[in-house]
Amino acid sequence: MTVTAAATTTTKPGQERPAGEPARQDDDFDRDVLPTPPGATAALLRSLLAPMKARVAVTTLLLLLQQAATQAGPLLVAYAIDSAVPAFRDHDNGPLVAVGVGYLLCALASGALQSTFVIAAARVNQDVLLDLRGRIFRHAQALSVDFHERYTSGRLISRSTTDVESLRELLNEGLQELVGVVLSFAYISALLLWLDLGLGAVAVASLGPLYLLIRLYQRRAKRVYRARSTAIAAVIVKFVETMNGIRPVRAFRREAVNDADFQVLNTRHERTNGDALLEMARYVIGSRLVANTAVAVIVLWGAHRVADGSLELGVLAAAVLYLRRLYDPIDRLGMFLNSYQSAAASLEKIAGLLAQTPSVPEPATPRQLPPLASEHPGREVVFDGVRFAYRTGGEVLPRFDLTLPAGQTVAVVGSTGAGKSTLAKLLARFYDPSDGRVLLDGVDLRDLAGPELRRGVVMVTQEAFLFSGTVAENIAIGRPDATREEIEEAAKAIGAHDFVTALPDGYDTDVRKRGGRISAGQRQLVAFARALLADPAVLILDEATSSLDIPGERAVQRAMATVLKGRTAVVIAHRLSTVEIADRVLVMEHGRIVEDGSPDQLVADTGRFADLHRAWRDSLA
């Protein structure tokens, strides 16, 4: 309540930033296009199409045949005017019937081929997109925590929605049209040249300026489309960020500021859309000018030649029909090129994402942990000459050595920002040390395969995350093959059983459904049960009891005595009461371990811990 009141007086909504000033995400725009190795985009496209080479070939053949059938029409018209009609006048209706039947057959064949092609192409496209979206998900999931801290989830969503969609647009409409247009250009040019070299030459010559126009348009459109897809990504990022943080947004009355920010981004996106339309309009005007000039030249010159008898009327008619077909798709060509541009931009971004390698890679030749000595022993942890800096910041942990004997419960205390969580994350291998090694029973964490590592080390953090599914399923994530008895056993051991059985469907309550909503403290209990069920040799608790009330924390602490027995445990806690169950306490300041000893020793001492402990004692009194 006080926080909210204070926030409303100090933060005047909408006035934090001058209106029209872009939102902060803009600074990170360059990350939208990750550095893409040369050729990565083409390689991605090849690898997507490789499994369906045969189908792509068949689809292309269908398109070639369909174009041939379609472009036969005007030729038949020319034949009808110049040969069949004169023959008909001479009471020979054979040629005219042949032309009619031929025209009909070509039209039917063209339709049949077109629909077969559409279905075949759609199947290929579906498979390509299915594969691509799967790859994006798998790859993003496999990338290290470090990557996700820098590349927001909004961007990832944008990759697998907007970018995949723009590829879909290209594949479903653009590409076949584009290839169709190019093919028909080739067919028609050849036919026109064959019908009449002079008229054909005029038509082919007109393709020159059109080509230049297209190139110019493409260059300009590329810029506009880049800007547009960046702008839409920014809209999505802002949207996702706001909705993910809806609680702090409410608590700090950020709505007005967010509205203003969103408005700026939204307007910018719309403006880029307007720019794209403008470029398109310029292109259409230019291309019509060229096309109509060419038609006018051909009609005038052709008519002149028909009059002096050097050109047959049928050929001129066919030429005019072909010209219409030649120029007809040019307006649309601009559109296909648009979808080609935006798909190319999207594919480049996707390729950039897929080219990212995990900064915490799986070992090429994994090593096994030595077998455990007895039923529940922990493993020895050694930080050997470890130094660590986040990619985005300075050194957080200066070089240090630390050995945690198997089975020891170690409490880590120290002020916020001291580096406690960083130490824990190195041990859980969320990151690799910048220097040195972290060893588990003598094996470098980098040499352990994922599953082996997770059996070795499990971390429970403050933000106990629940996946969609039931409570039981959420606990079973610790050990997917666990029986219901084992799940309940774990919940009982941690003191979660009572609240779970009080839920509408007990262990089968869906945590995302109505009535299944559970509090932050209860979520932590579920996370504890999950970790307990996983039965790791090393358990890390990073402020894992911070959402529990004092009695709840006490209960967990009692339970923890059983849970931690024999395991190596690293317990990071604000409340010093947790320290009482520890065999050893480490005090951290500015990334350094400044005190190290048993709780009793440190209390008796005159150091930081003794001060902290005294202050804590006083606060209890």
Site residues (CB under 6 A) for ligand ADP? 149, 390, 392-393, 396, 414, 416-422
Contact indicator for 565, 596 with CB cutoff of 8 Å: no
Partner whose binding site includes residue 422, from ligand ADP, Mg ion, none (CB under 5 to 8 Å by kind): ligand ADP
Return the structure tokens found at 270: 């719309």
Tokens 């190290």 locate to 596
Contact indicator for 265, 23 with CB cutoff of 8 Å: yes
Partner whose binding site includes residue 392, from Mg ion, ligand ADP, none (CB under 5 to 8 Å by kind): ligand ADP
Distance separating alpha carbons of residues 303 and 319, to the nearest angstrom: 12
Contact indicator for 154, 189 with CB cutoff of 8 Å: no
Shortest Cβ 560–Mg ion spacing (Å): 19
Partner whose binding site includes residue 16, from ligand ADP, Mg ion, none (CB under 5 to 8 Å by kind): none
Residue number closest to Mg ion, CB atom? 421
H helix count then E strand count, the chain = 22, 10
77 vs 396, which CB is nearer to ligand ADP? 396
3-state secondary structure 205-246: HHHHHHHHHHHHHHHHHHHHHHHHHHHHHHHHHHHHHHHHCH
203 vs 427, which CB is nearer to Mg ion? 427
Shortest Cβ 578–Mg ion spacing (Å): 14
Partner whose binding site includes residue 418, from ligand ADP, Mg ion, none (CB under 5 to 8 Å by kind): ligand ADP
149 vs 362, which CB is nearer to ligand ADP? 149
Partner whose binding site includes residue 88, from Mg ion, ligand ADP, none (CB under 5 to 8 Å by kind): none
418 vs 518, which CB is nearer to Mg ion? 418
Contact indicator for 214, 337 with CB cutoff of 8 Å: yes
Partner whose binding site includes residue 59, from ligand ADP, Mg ion, none (CB under 5 to 8 Å by kind): none
Give Dmax over CA atoms of the chain in angstroms: 125
Shortest Cβ 28–ligand ADP spacing (Å): 14
- Give the number of residues in contact with Mg ion, rule: CB under 5 A: 1
114 vs 421, which CB is nearer to ligand ADP? 421
Residue number closest to ligand ADP, CB atom? 421
214 vs 538, which CB is nearer to Mg ion? 538
Shortest Cβ 418–ligand ADP spacing (Å): 4
329 vs 419, which CB is nearer to ligand ADP? 419
Distance separating alpha carbons of residues 556 and 568, to the nearest angstrom: 17
Helix, strand or coil for residue 412?
A: strand
Partner whose binding site includes residue 396, from ligand ADP, Mg ion, none (CB under 5 to 8 Å by kind): ligand ADP
559 vs 585, which CB is nearer to ligand ADP? 585
Q: Give the pairing of strands 435-440 and 443-444.
A: antiparallel
Shortest Cβ 369–ligand ADP spacing (Å): 26
Shortest Cβ 284–Mg ion spacing (Å): 59
Shortest Cβ 415–ligand ADP spacing (Å): 7
Q: Which long-range contacts (CB under 8 A, 24 or more apart) does 394-397 make?
A: 395/434, 395/591, 396/422, 396/591, 397/422, 397/423, 397/426, 397/591
323 vs 418, which CB is nearer to Mg ion? 418
Partner whose binding site includes residue 2, from Mg ion, ligand ADP, none (CB under 5 to 8 Å by kind): none
Shortest Cβ 421–Mg ion spacing (Å): 3
Helix (H) or strand (E) holding 539: strand 538-542
Contact region with Mg ion (CB under 5 A), list: 119-127, 132-140, 253-261, 416-424: 416-424
Shortest Cβ 590–ligand ADP spacing (Å): 9
Q: Which amino acid is at 416?
A: T
CA proximity to 62, closest of 137, 114, 7, 5: 114
Say which residues have a Cβ less than 8 Å from residue 35's Cβ, sequence separation at least 6: 352
Sign of CA dihedral 197, 200, 206, 210: negative
Distance separating alpha carbons of residues 377 and 370, to the nearest angstrom: 12
Shortest Cβ 65–ligand ADP spacing (Å): 58
Contact region with Mg ion (CB under 5 A), list: 379-387, 396-404, 419-427, 606-614: 419-427
Shortest Cβ 244–ligand ADP spacing (Å): 17
Eight-class DSSP state of 505? T
424 vs 529, which CB is nearer to ligand ADP? 424
103 vs 390, which CB is nearer to ligand ADP? 390
Binding Mg ion (rule: CB under 5 A), the pick from 258, 339, 421, 509 is: 421
DSSP 541-592: EESTTTTS-HHHHHHHHHHHHHHHTTSEEEEE-SSGGGGGG-SEEEEEETTE
Instruction: Give the start-end residues of each E strand in 381-473.
Output: 381-389, 395-404, 409-414, 435-440, 443-444, 457-460
Q: Does 578 bind Mg ion (CB under 5 A)?
A: no
Footprint of Mg ion (CB under 5 A):
421
